Amino acid sequence: MHEFSIVDSLLRLADEHAKKNNAKKVTKLEIKIGELSGVEPDLLKTAFDTFKEGTVCEEAEFIIINQPIVIKCNDCNYEGEPNKDEYVCPNCKGVNIKIIDGEDMYLMSLELEKED
């Protein structure tokens, strides 16, 4: 289950940013998970809640934004979501498409609380 290694990386990154900014804790951590990223949001949340204890993220709000698949049609220039489970342009029905979002996971923001 790679969600545990992802959480480990997120916690390390949060700790690094907290130290660099003289913060005592992270109050909010927001990530975006693409539908095709291979990351299971529920498992990631469970892993985060399990491993955050004793870290700068112990009291952090963990926000997950689910990113649907977004395509661009190279024939008609449509940009948007395809129909469910179809990798064709919903506008012209062409298959000359490129996925432009929904394959990755990003750390979108960290909110820190400074030391007194």
- Binding-site annotation, residues: 2, 73, 76, 89, 92
Number of other residues whose CB lies within 10 A of the CB of residue 78? 16
Q: How far is CA 43 from CA 5, 29, 60, 109, in A?
A: 12, 16, 17, 20
Residue ranges of the annotated binding site for Zn(2+) are 73, 76, 89, 92
Rounded to an integer, what distance in angstroms lies between the CA atom of residue 115 and that of residue 22?
6
Residue ranges of the annotated binding site for Ni(2+) are 2
**Among 32, 43, 36, 55, which Cα is nearest to 5's?**
43
